[in-house]
Chains A and B, each alone.
Chain A
Amino acid sequence: MESQTDSTLMKLVQAGDSSQLATLFERYHLGLFRYLVSLTRNRALSEDLVQEVFFRVLKYARSYDPSLSFPVWLYGMARNACFDSLHKGRAELTGTEMQDVKSSAPMPEEVIARKQDVTFLQEALQQLPDDKREVLILSRFHNMRYEEIARILKCEIGTVKVRVYRALKELREKFCEVSGDSRKTGMPFARGGEKLYDV
Chain B
Amino acid sequence: MTFEEIRLLIPQYLSGQLTPAEKDIFEAQLNASPELRIEVEELRSLWNELGSIPEERPSDALRARFYQKLNAIERDRSRVSDTGFAWWKSGLQGLVRQTTIAVGVFALGLFVGREKFNTLAPTQEVKRLDTEVQSLRQTVALSLLQRQSATSRLEGISWCSRVQHPDSDLVGALLSTLNSDANINVRLSALDAVEKFSGDPGVHKALIESLPRQDSPLVQIALIDAIVHMRDNGAAPELRKLTSDREVNVAVRQRAEWGLQKLSYQ
Q: Could you list which residues of chain A lie within 8 angstroms of chain B, going by C-beta atoms?
A: 1-3, 16, 18-19, 21-23, 25-26, 29-30, 33-34, 37, 43, 46-47, 50-51, 54-55, 58, 99, 101-102, 114, 117-118, 121-122, 125, 139-141, 143, 145-146, 161-162, 164-165, 168-169, 171-172, 175, 185-189, 191, 196-197
- Of B55-63, B102-110, B165-173, B205-213, the segment with at least 4 beta carbons within 8 Å of chain A is B55-63
Q: A21-B70, A140-B50, A165-B8 are in contact. List 19 more A-B contacts (CB 8 A).
A: A3-B250, A22-B184, A22-B218, A29-B58, A30-B55, A30-B58, A33-B56, A33-B62, A43-B56, A43-B58, A51-B62, A51-B65, A140-B15, A185-B45, A187-B45, A188-B38, A191-B42, A196-B7, A197-B4
Are B15 and A143 touching (Cβ within 8 A)?
yes
**Cα separation A165 to B4 with both chains bound (whole Å):** 11
Q: In the docked arrangement, what's the CA distance between A155 and B125, Å?
A: 63
- Do residues B49 and A121 form an inter-chain contact, with CB atoms below 8 A? yes
Quick one: closest B residue to A1, CB to CB?
Answer: B249
Interface CB pairs A-B, < 8 A, 7:
A1-B249, A2-B249, A22-B185, A43-B56, A51-B62, A118-B54, A168-B46
Write the chain A residue with the least CB distance to B50.
Answer: A140
Nearest to B15 among chain A residues (CB) is A139
Question: For the complex, is B180 an interface residue (Cβ under 8 Å from A)?
Answer: no
Q: Which residues of A contact B57 (CB under 8 A)?
A: 30, 33, 99
- Residues of chain A within 8 A (CB-CB) of B7 are 165, 196
Q: Max chain A CB contacts within 10 Å: which of B55, B58, B67, B218?
A: B58
Asked if B8 and A161 make an inter-chain contact with CB atoms under 8 angstroms apart, the answer reads yes
Contact B222 A26 (CB under 8 A): yes
The tally of residues in B whose CB lies under 8 Å from a CB in A reads 52
A168 contacts which chain B residues (CB < 8 A)?
Answer: 10-11, 43, 46-47
**A-facing residues in B177-191 (Cβ within 8 Å):** 184-185, 188
Give the residues in chain A near B27, CB-CB below 8 Å.
Answer: none
Cβ–Cβ contact B42 & A188, under 8 A: yes
Query: In the assembly, what is the distance between CA of A54 and CA of B68, in Å?
Result: 13
Residues of A near B53 (CB, < 8 A) are: 118, 121-122, 125
